[in-house]
Amino acid sequence: MSSRIFVDGQVGTTGLGIARRLAAAGGFSLVTLPEANRKNLQARVEAMGRADLTVLCLPDDAAREAVTIAPSGARILDASTAHRVAEGWVYGFAEALPGQAERIASAKRVANPGCYATGAIALLRPLTALGLLTAEAPLCINAVSGYSGGGKVMITDHEITGGPAFELYALGLRHKHLPEIMHYSGLARAPVFVPSVGHFPQGMLVCIPLYLEQLTTPCSAVQLTEAYADYYAGKVNILVHRGIWGANLDPQALNDTDQLEIFVAANEEAGQVVLIARLDNLGKGASGAAVQNIKLMLGIENG
């Protein structure tokens, strides 16, 4: 018997990606609504009641409203920003913390991570967990994403009008992913986070430059990669490239996969490293992570 999934907001980029991945995986059936009923509260409540699991692909306020109208006992995976650091919600990054996959599997409420946050947390959490970085460390995060992460308006700008080749944004330095980055990376001091968009549909690089002297324990770049490899040992969706990385990196290399790669670039003589995560912002950064969490919540995958 197939598991029934209701994607509230299925026509958006993340919702469409989830539907495609579920169809490819098999064993799932979508609870759908006619277009005229997609914003009808009663129809949505009934759809939640028929589903084994509801996925919210909605703006934050709409996601909060959906939770309040959900039938008692409904299991919910929220792909918005609304509940990522909310009490009573489990964060849906299965590899980030020991036992997190098990917590996701038993939860009624799971918040899917943000794309930038996934890359940043993947790089930072092992270092704070191992005591190599303090919670107060002054950090900078630079990242570039494909334009699909910007929603319908940005997608239209790039695909119809051409869009800029590259642009920085969120220069008020208050990007909506910062709270979850801090919370799940174990940071007490907000990093300077500078996101950007390139003129390509999907793909992402998240980069964190460090001086090795910022680490609490003397550590070489090679030892850093070994620390990452040990932390993520057995995690099939995360690949750590051992040694010092010196080649160029294409942000689109993992497109249409659910993988995340970690690299350490270095100038050992200068005591400098750059920690790099590569992922598909629509894969491990959105729809791919959602499907992983769906499978965990329904007992189809063990993490």
Known catalytic residues are 115
Q: Please give the Cα distance from 264 to 142 (Å, whole number).
A: 15
Q: Please give the Cα distance from 167 to 198 (Å, whole number).
A: 7
Count other Cβ atoms within 10 Å, centred on residue 266: 22
CA distances from 123 to 7, 159, 260 (A): 30, 32, 11
Residue whose pair of structure tokens reads 């099939």 in the numeric block: 236
Exposed/middle/buried for 226, CB within 10 Å: 0-12, 13-18, 19+?
middle
Contact 261, 225 (CB under 8 A): no
Contact 63, 56 (CB under 8 A): yes
Residue whose pair of structure tokens reads 């539907």 in the numeric block: 19
Q: Please give the Cα distance from 136 to 282 (Å, whole number).
A: 31
Count other Cβ atoms within 10 Å, centred on residue 289: 28
Q: Please give the Cα distance from 168 to 274 (Å, whole number).
A: 20
The secondary structure of residue 284, as a DSSP letter, is: I
- What element of type H or E holds 261? strand 260-267
Count other Cβ atoms within 10 Å, centred on residue 151: 13
From the list 267, 266, 288, the residue with the least C-alpha distance to 275 is 266
